[in-house]
Homo-oligomer: A and B are copies of this chain.
Amino acid sequence: MFSNTVKYAIKAVLYLAAYSDESNKIMIKDIANPINVPMAYIAKILQDLSRKNLVSSKRGPKGGFYLSDNNLKGNVHDLIEAVEGDDRISSCLLSLSECNASNPCSLHDLAYKEKQFLMQKLKETTLKTLAQDLKEGKTVLPL
């Protein structure tokens, strides 16, 4: 459903959301392992997200990545959109230019409600909330 890049981005950001803050930055080498993503790859992804201001970073000694309070207010949908331009969920399942009821593809009726619900939730769920669940052990990050 998501590309590896998106999955990796979500995992890394949630890891940061749960275990970092401005006074507790985390280095690439300490992120890559716990979320089980190649170091150089997650570096590239986080650098991209940093450029787009979805995560915060500081270089040099004592530097690293972290989520600011502001970053924590972000939602999953924005994150997904940031790493892969188009939106694989809201777009038409069969690649019509627009997904809407007035010109529905063959799968539209069967899927649009679920797609809408999912989109809605991805937009309203903040990173902070998900991080909370993680810290409480209610959820896990793969591998």
Contact = CB atoms under 8 A, between A and B. Distances in A.
Interface string A46-82: 0000000000000000000000000000001000000
Interface residues of A, number: 41
A24 interface: no
Interface string A85-114: 000110111111000000111111111011
A76 B114 CA distance: 16
Given A1-B1, A114-B118, A118-B114, A10 B107 contact: yes
Nearest to A113: B117
Given A10-B94, A11-B94, A118-B111, A104 B1 contact: no
A40 interface: no
A28 B91 CA distance: 28
